[in-house]
Structure 1
Amino acid sequence: MTFQLPDLPFSKDALAPHMSAETLEFHHGKHHRTYVTKTNEMLEDKRELRGASLVQVIRDAQSQGETKLFNNSAQLWNHSFFWQCLAPAEGQKPTGKLAHLIDDAFGGAEAMLEKLHAEAVNHFSNGWAWLVLDKGALRITSLHDADTPLVHDGMVPLFTLDVWEHAYYIDYRNERPKFASAVLQNIVNWDFVGENLDSKGVERANQEGARLTEPTA
Structure 2
Amino acid sequence: MNINRRNLLILLGTTLGVITLDGCQIPPDNSSASVTPSTLPNDTKLAEKSGVFELTPLPYQYDALEPYIDKETMQFHHGKHYAGYIKKLNGAIANYPELKDKSAEDLLRGLNGLPNDIRTAVQNNGGGYVNHKMFWEIMSPNGGGEPQGKIATAIDESFGNFDSFKDKFNASGGSRFGSGWVWLVLGEDGKLKVISTANQDSPFLTGDYPIMGNDVWEHAYYLRYQNRRGDYLKAWWNVVNWPEVNRRYEEGLTVIS
* TM-score, reference length from structure 2: 0.73
8 A contact 2:174–2:230 mirrored in 1: yes
Residue 162 of structure 1 and its aligned partner are, at CA, apart by 0.4
* Residues 50 and 136 (structure 1), Cα distance of their counterparts in 2 relative to 1, 3 Å cut: closer
1:114 paired to 2:167: yes
Aligned to 1:126: 179
8 A contact 2:144–2:241 mirrored in 1: no
Deviating runs (4+, > 6 A) in structure 1? none
Identity %: 36
1:198 paired to 2:250: yes
2:129 counterpart letter in structure 1: L
Residue 55 of structure 1 and its aligned partner are, at CA, apart by 2.0
Aligned to 1:76: 129
Structure of greater relative contact order (alpha carbons < 8 Å, 6+ residues apart): 1
Aligned to 1:141: 195
Alignment of 1:14-25 (within 5 A): 14-25=64-75
Of 201, 210, 216, the residue aligned with 1:163 is 216
Aligned to 1:42: 92
In the alignment, the residues of structure 2 paired with residue 141 and residue 56 of structure 1 have an alpha-carbon distance, to the nearest angstrom, of 21
1:104 counterpart letter in structure 2: E
The DSSP-based 3-state class of the residue aligned with 1:158 is strand
Where do 5+ consecutive residues of structure 2 fail to align?
Answer: 1-50
| Structure 1 stretch displaced more, 138-147 or 194-203 | 194-203
Aligned to 2:20: none
8 A contact 1:156–1:199 mirrored in 2: no
8 A contact 1:82–1:159 mirrored in 2: yes
8 A contact 1:62–1:151 mirrored in 2: no
In the alignment, the residues of structure 2 paired with residue 129 and residue 77 of structure 1 have an alpha-carbon distance, to the nearest angstrom, of 14
* Residues 36 and 99 (structure 1), Cα distance of their counterparts in 2 relative to 1, 3 Å cut: same
* TM-score, reference length from structure 1: 0.85
Residue 13 of structure 1 and its aligned partner are, at CA, apart by 1.0
In the alignment, the residues of structure 1 paired with residue 158 and residue 252 of structure 2 have an alpha-carbon distance, to the nearest angstrom, of 21
8 A contact 2:186–2:252 mirrored in 1: no
Of 139, 156, 166, the residue aligned with 1:103 is 156
Aligned to 2:77: 27
In the alignment, the residues of structure 1 paired with residue 155 and residue 105 of structure 2 have an alpha-carbon distance, to the nearest angstrom, of 28
* Residues 86 and 49 (structure 1), Cα distance of their counterparts in 2 relative to 1, 3 Å cut: same
* Residues 89 and 175 (structure 1), Cα distance of their counterparts in 2 relative to 1, 3 Å cut: farther
8 A contact 1:62–1:70 mirrored in 2: no
In the alignment, the residues of structure 2 paired with residue 18 and residue 202 of structure 1 have an alpha-carbon distance, to the nearest angstrom, of 33
In the alignment, the residues of structure 2 paired with residue 31 and residue 106 of structure 1 have an alpha-carbon distance, to the nearest angstrom, of 33
Where do 5+ consecutive residues of structure 1 fail to align?
Answer: 204-217
In the alignment, the residues of structure 2 paired with residue 118 and residue 59 of structure 1 have an alpha-carbon distance, to the nearest angstrom, of 27
In the alignment, the residues of structure 1 paired with residue 241 and residue 158 of structure 2 have an alpha-carbon distance, to the nearest angstrom, of 20
Aligned residues between the structures: 201
8 A contact 1:158–1:197 mirrored in 2: yes
In the alignment, the residues of structure 1 paired with residue 144 and residue 101 of structure 2 have an alpha-carbon distance, to the nearest angstrom, of 41
1:87 paired to 2:140: yes
Aligned to 2:63: 13
8 A contact 1:129–1:141 mirrored in 2: yes
Structure with bigger gyration radius: 2
Q: CA RMSD in A?
A: 2.0
In the alignment, the residues of structure 2 paired with residue 6 and residue 42 of structure 1 have an alpha-carbon distance, to the nearest angstrom, of 20
